Every structure is written in C-alpha cells, then in structure tokens.
Structure 1
C-alpha cells in the first residue's frame, strides 16, 4: 500500500510524505523512515512548503486554461497538483493558521490586485486571469477545512464575498474561466450558506450567454439539496 501511495513523483507526493512524517508514530514511523530514507534529510516546515507551492503556481509553465468537457475552462494538471498539495498541508495546519496566513495574507491580496488593475489603477501590476482562477479554486478548497472544523460563520463571509464578486461578472466583462472558477468555489463553500449561494449562482446563470458546463449544473443541484435540508 505504501508503495502505491508514494510511487508517484511530484509535489503532491512530497506533501503527503511531509504530513505522514509529522503524524506517524511508533513502529509505523520507524518503518516509513527506513522505507523512504527519511533519516537522510531533515523534514520541511509545512508552512514554508505551502509558500513555495503558491509560488510554483505563479511560475507554472502551463499558464493557460485547459478545455474540459465537464468543467469548461479548467486549470492544468500541474496547477491542480499544487492546489491539492496545499489543501493537504493546510488540513494538517488547521483552519486558523490557514485563514490567517494563506487566505488573508496571500489569496485575498491577489484578488484585490486583479480587481484594482481591471478598474484602471495604473500603478497596480496586472495579475494573469489563470492565477485569479487558481486563487478562487484554492479559496474554495481551503474553505472546506473551515467547514469541517466548525467555523461556518467565517466561511459564510468568504462565500458572500465571492457571491458579490460573481454578481458583477457581466458588467465587468469578466473572463469566462474566472467566472467558472468563482462559481465552483461557491459550490465548494455552499454548506456555509446554501440558500444565498444558490441564489448567487442562479442570478449569474441568467446573465450569461455562454454554455453552462455540466459540473456547474451538478454543483447547483448538490447545494440545492442542502437548501432543502436547511428549510426542513
């Protein structure tokens, strides 16, 4: 089993090894230390690895959207690997650390910079659309950590911000890939406030003339089921 888990090379493997190295105890730790030659290197700090992965996303060679039959304009596999690795590390580091150090200090500033530049602030450097889409998908994934740990009000605030963001998609001529990323993030955050999330997505849906990917329809259905439960 361990051979299957750690046989793939890449950042996700490194993140898995780091988390397992931090959590394993007793004989399991001794076996893995020998099997993976951990005694030959010092463990990385998880927070430092998260920062390096955020930088890796910005420097990713495939900095363009990938067309997907199910998701529409999606992120590349290499960006997704970084996002999943960050998600895993932040699960280990818990919500409070993730919110204070990653969402507040790293991700929201990227969104703010992108919005300001599009509104004509010439002193604010541009941010590639694919980076903004990656940021939105990451916010959605990380928000689920807060939901699992019981911080629903904090996650609700995040979903409300993204809901307001997507409301201006048409008038701001927002790139389609960014719009979809925001919608998928809302679906990820849906349990925090399902009624408001469904209303925001449905309002967005009525304003767009683009073809809606099947993943959006599935996401709306899932959050709508939560609305039914909440009403009951």
Structure 2
C-alpha cells in the first residue's frame, strides 16, 4: 500500500473516531503502529494529530507511553513537527524507565480497576486496566523488555 493511501486511510479513520468521540480506538491505532515497529509510525502519528489535534492530550498512561515511544522513534523534521504539535516543549514526554515504574505503581494502587462482563469474553478487564496493560506493553517492547504478571524482564 502506498504511503499516501495509508495516510489518507489513517486520516479518515481518526476523523471517524473523532466524530464518534472514541479516542480509545484512535489510541489503539497509534499503539499498533508503534508496537509493530512500523517504519512510518511517527509520520502516521503526525497525520493523526493533524486530523484530531487533541487526540493524545489526555493524561492516560497509554497517551504518555505513545508520547514517549513516538519521541524515541522520531528524528529530524518529523521530530521537530511532533514536538510542536504534541507540545513537548511545555510538557516533555519523560523517561521510559520512570514511566514504567510510575505505571506499575499506579496499577497496583488503583482501587477502581475491576472485571466486567463481556458478551464475547465472559469476564474482561475494565478499560482503565487495559490502558495500563497497553502502556506497559508498548514501553517494555520499545526497551526490548518482556513483562509478565509478576516480573518485568530485560533481555
């Protein structure tokens, strides 16, 4: 698939997410681009931000992880543009090691995390728990780490 077509599809998808008010699906798309080490991930994140400027402005663990990993992957002009559009000059993304530590601490302290019924899966994690899971997965994968229920392992 050509890059122009991929960018157009990304812009349309994010526009639909914005119209529906579903930032979680837009975050999942960014997560997938970054997690799969897609070569054009920073450029596609930029397309997402130009289509929906506030898509990554919430203070969730996954948004912080997206900022951190995007900053690690972007370079040159794309780094400059992302830093302007994502306001890294006023709110720097931070360190991935500290983000993992703070996310794990927050996960352990968060008393609002519950299981919920799912028509497809029976019992499932609540959306806030999935936010923690995906943020840890993204950060650990970027650092070459594996995380399990009981350990974070660097290899």
TM-score normalized by structure 2?
0.58
What is the aligned counterpart of 2:64 among 14, 22, 26?
Answer: 14
Question: 1:5 offset after TM fit, Å?
Answer: 8.2
Structure 1 residues 81 and 43, CA, compared in 2 at 3 Å: closer, same or farther?
A: closer
Unaligned runs of 5+ in 1: 109-138, 152-232
Corresponding residue to 1:2 among 41, 48, 57: 48
Q: What CA distance in whole angstroms lies between the structure 2 residues aligned with 1:7 and 1:41?
A: 15
Query: Structure 1 residues 5 and 20, CA, compared in 2 at 3 Å: closer, same or farther?
Result: farther
Quick check: 1:107 aligned with 2:153?
no
| Residues 154-173 of structure 1 aligned to structure 2 (within 5 Å) | none
| Paired residues, number | 105
- Shift of the alpha carbon at 1:60? 2.1
Segments of 4+ in structure 1 off by > 4 A?
none
Greater relative contact order (Cα 8 A, min sep 6): structure 1 or 2? 2
1:62 to 92, 97, 112: 112
Higher helix share goes to which structure?
1
CA distance in 2, matches of 1:63, 1:83: 12
* RMSD across aligned positions (CA): 2.7
**Does residue 1:48 correspond to 2:95, yes or no?**
no
TM-score, normalising length: structure 1: 0.40
CA drift at 1:23: 1.2
Q: Counting strand residues as a fraction of each chain, which structure ranks higher?
A: 2
